[in-house]
Amino acid sequence: MEKEAEVQSLTDILAKFTAYIGKRLPTDVKDKQAELRAKETNPMAIEIFDVMAENQDAADKLDRPSCQDTGVIQYFIQAGSSFPLLGELESILEGATIGATKIGPLRHNAVEAFVEKNTGTNTGSKIPWLDWEILPGKDHVIIDVYMAGGGCTLPGASTVLMPGQGYEGVAEFVLDVMTSRGLNACPPLLVGVGVSTSAETAARLSKKAILKPVTARNTNEQAALLEELLAEGINDLGIGPQGLTGDNTVMGVNIEWSARHPSTIGVAVSTGCWAHRRGQIKINADLSYEIISHQDVKL
Amino acid sequence: MKKVLKTPISIEDLEELKAGDIVYLDGTLITCRDVAHRRLIEYGQELPVDLVGGAIFHAGPIVREKDDGSYEMVSIGPTTSMRMEKFEREFIKKTGVRLIIGKGGMGPETAAGCAENKAVHAVFPGGCAVVAATKVEAIEGAEWKDLGMPETLWINRVKGFGPLIISIDTHGNNLFETNKKTYNERKSSVLERISEQVKFIK
């Protein structure tokens, strides 16, 4: 293929995939919700879980975005340093966003700051948002697409604690987010926690944490313990689906972390709503692809 | 039996309702969110729709414009109502709206507004936007289209729109605020339990 044709072909694939993930939840999220519904004992929560399931069936059958807020489009890219279209990827992803907006159709969610006008295309200054990591020597890319809706973006918070506050302070920070804005963010939530050195490093890691599967368990035993304690603790608050009480408030708690300055503990929270619209796709050097997040997909 | 409200809604229709009850709506439902609230309350611009006895929906839908210029409702779920807390008490007073539908709770100002002028706030389950869209029979108009797709006032004719869970009733009872107190009371014991096990800095 000529390079121009290759760019067009990859733009089409990624536009279709971006539109697709707005209509159908990833397999791990779907399975988790069925599990939570089966465990639930609160009648109001059961009613809400059932409307949620009905909605996903209707979205699938009618081929429509399951939630009207299809978010600001964010792409998290793990890019092989030898991927043939590395230099073209940024413009390909912009084209994919414009394409997905028509195919979905997606809601127009890019408002230029200060100009205060909706662009109508879901693209704008630095949007779609791109986050890059390099895979040295590899010739493929792995792209996570995330639709950052307003409701579950609102609880986002980041701060820097003093070491004296310890991991006890981390837990308090997370719980405070849950009992304030968290309960309006469409629980059951996937809660991402970043533990790092500063406000912005923790914030980025907290977002990376909600891109991991809902069943992920930290490889560090102490971090895994904190994940479990937070999940159990948040469920014990009894917030429930839609914040209207219930046994199940989280789909999971995932922590991502880095080393930190001895004088600081950066901590951040990002929340993913029950309609957690993310997708992961691997693109090989020959532009063949594999969808990792969803089973049995036809683009 | 399902309790169904019909627009125009009267005070009598709402008096018996209590926070936690579930109702459905037939009639006209107009989307109205951040900027429309700001225009009316902060800038004193008159709303281009009559809301006396009416129902608003805190929502920014996905709408498809057809070739003949008419509109199709694709996906319409509620947005976070708390963003309108700053304006809603005054909004109820100025417009005569009776039913406010959204997502999550609203605060003490809205509860006071609901009690003073006899209105209710209700929650439609968030994220269930296709279920909601199938209850929209037609889009009968669109105002303030300069605001873009999410913020336009979309005038919808709805049938059996729900479930709507009453979160603030006309007596000023506020389901979310009551629940929040319980969540916050539980928080200290949960935090104590976690703290004992995460003393990793030694």
Q: How far is A103 from chain B (nearest CA, A)?
A: 11
Contact yes or no for A127/A88 (Cβ under 8 A): no
Q: Contacts of residue A109 in chain B, CB cutoff 8 Å?
A: 150
pLDDT for position B152: 97
Residues 6 or more apart whose CB falls under 8 angstroms from that of B57 comprise: B29, B30, B31, B32, B76, B78, B101, B102, B124, B156
The per-residue pLDDT for B1 is 74
* Best residue of B190, B195, B201 to probe chain A, by most A CBs closer than 10 Å: B190
Domains, in order of start, for chain B: 3-173 (3.20.130.10)
Best CATH choice for the domain A3-23+66-149+277-291 from the list 3.30.70, 3.30.360, 1.10.10, 3.30.160:
3.30.360
Structure tokens at A210: 């909600």
Q: Which of B128, B154, B193, B195 to mutate to test the interface with A (most CBs of A within 10 A)?
A: B128
| pLDDT tens digits, one per residue of A211-235 | 999 999 999 999 999 999 999 999 9
Dihedral angle of Cα B142, B143, B146, B148, to the nearest 10 degrees? -50
pLDDT of A299 higher than 80: yes
pLDDT at A195 over 80: yes
Considering B37, B58, B121, B171, which one is annotated as catalytic?
Answer: B37
Q: Tell me, what's the pLDDT at A1? A: 65
Search chain B and give the residue with CA nearest A111: B148
User: Which of B76, B105, B186 is opposite residue A237, by nearest beta carbon?
Assistant: B186
Task: Report pLDDT for B126.
Answer: 96
Residues of chain A with CATH 3.30.360: 3-23+66-149+277-291
Q: Measure A175 CA to nearest chain B CA, in Å.
A: 7
CA–CA dist B98, B164 (Å, integer): 14
Is B187 in Cβ contact with A105 (below 8 Å)? no
Residue A112's contacts (CB-CB under 8 Å, 6 or more residues apart) are A118, A119, A124, A125
pLDDT in tens, B53-83: 999 999 999 999 999 999 999 999 999 999 9
Q: Judge whether B171 counts as a catalytic residue.
A: no
CA distance A56 to A34: 12
pLDDT digits (tens, 9 = 90+) for A282-295: 999 999 999 999 99
Q: How many CB pairs under 8 A join A and B?
A: 186
> For residue A61, how many other CB atoms are within 10 A of its CB?
9
CA distance B104 to chain A (A): 5
Q: What would the mean pLDDT of A26-38 be, rounded to a whole number?
A: 97
Chain B nearest CA to A34, separation (Å): 16
Instruction: Look at strands A278-283 and A141-148 and give their pairing.
Output: antiparallel
Cis peptide before A105 (omega within 30 of 0): yes
Whether residue A184 and residue B77 make contact (CB cut-off 8 A), yes or no, is no
**Does the ipTM surpass 0.85?**
yes
Report how far residue B160's alpha carbon sits from residue B87's, in angstroms, rounded to the nearest whole number.
28
The residue to which tokens 């975005």 are assigned? A65
The per-residue pLDDT for range A87-138, each reduced to its tens digit, is 999 999 999 999 999 999 999 999 999 999 999 999 999 999 999 999 999 9
pLDDT over 80 (residue B127): yes
Interchain contact B188–A (C-beta under 8 A):
no
A60-70, pLDDT tens digit by residue?
Answer: 999 999 999 99
**Chain B CB contacts of A186 below 8 Å:** 103, 126-127
Burial A155-166 (b: 16+ CB within 10 A, else e): bbbbbbbeeebb
Strand ranges in A65-140 using DSSP code E only, listed in sequence order: 72-80, 111-112, 117-118, 129-135
**What is the pLDDT at residue A68?**
95
In chain B, which residues have their Cβ closer than 8 Å to the Cβ of A171?
A: 191, 194-195, 198
Verify whether the Cβ–Cβ distance A108 to B184 is below 8 Å: no
Three-class secondary structure assignment of B62-107:
EEEECCCCCEEEEECCECEHHHHHHHHHHHHHHHCCCEEEEECCCC
pLDDT over 70, % of chain A: 100
pLDDT digits (tens, 9 = 90+) for A138-186: 999 999 999 999 999 999 999 999 999 999 999 999 999 999 999 999 9
- Judge contact between B73 and B131, C-beta under 8 A: no
pLDDT of residue A186: 95
